[in-house]
């Protein structure tokens, strides 16, 4: 499931988790759960960067030159 999300999606979700945690007035159980998800997401983001491979398409459209 994580595989399908883009790097940007994962980063956005990670950012939201951090903001939620930084509010501070959340129950401990919730904090532990969010932190666990954050750790997973950051690992997924890092993996996506490690494995990223640029894709290049050249469209010369049958134009001369």
Residues found near other proteins in the complex (CB under 8 A)? 6-8, 11, 14-15, 17-18, 21-22, 24, 26, 28, 31-32, 34-35, 38-39, 42, 45-46, 48-49, 52-61, 63, 65
CB of 60 to other proteins, least distance (A): 4
Q: How many CB atoms lie within 10 A of CB 1?
A: 4
CA 16 to chain centre: 11
CB of 3 to other proteins, least distance (A): 15
CB of 47 to other proteins, least distance (A): 10
Query: Measured between alpha carbons, how far is 46 from 7 in angstroms, rounded to an integer?
Result: 9
Q: How many CB atoms lie within 10 A of CB 6?
A: 9
């Amino acid at each position: 499931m994580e595989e399908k999300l883009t790097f940007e999606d994962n980063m956005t979700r990670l950012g939201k988790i951090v903001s939620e945690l930084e509010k501070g007035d959340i129950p401990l159980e919730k904090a532990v759960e969010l932190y666990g998800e954050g750790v997973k997401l950051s690992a997924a983001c890092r993996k996506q960067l490690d494995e990223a491979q640029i894709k290049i398409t050249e469209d010369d459209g049958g134009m001369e030159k």
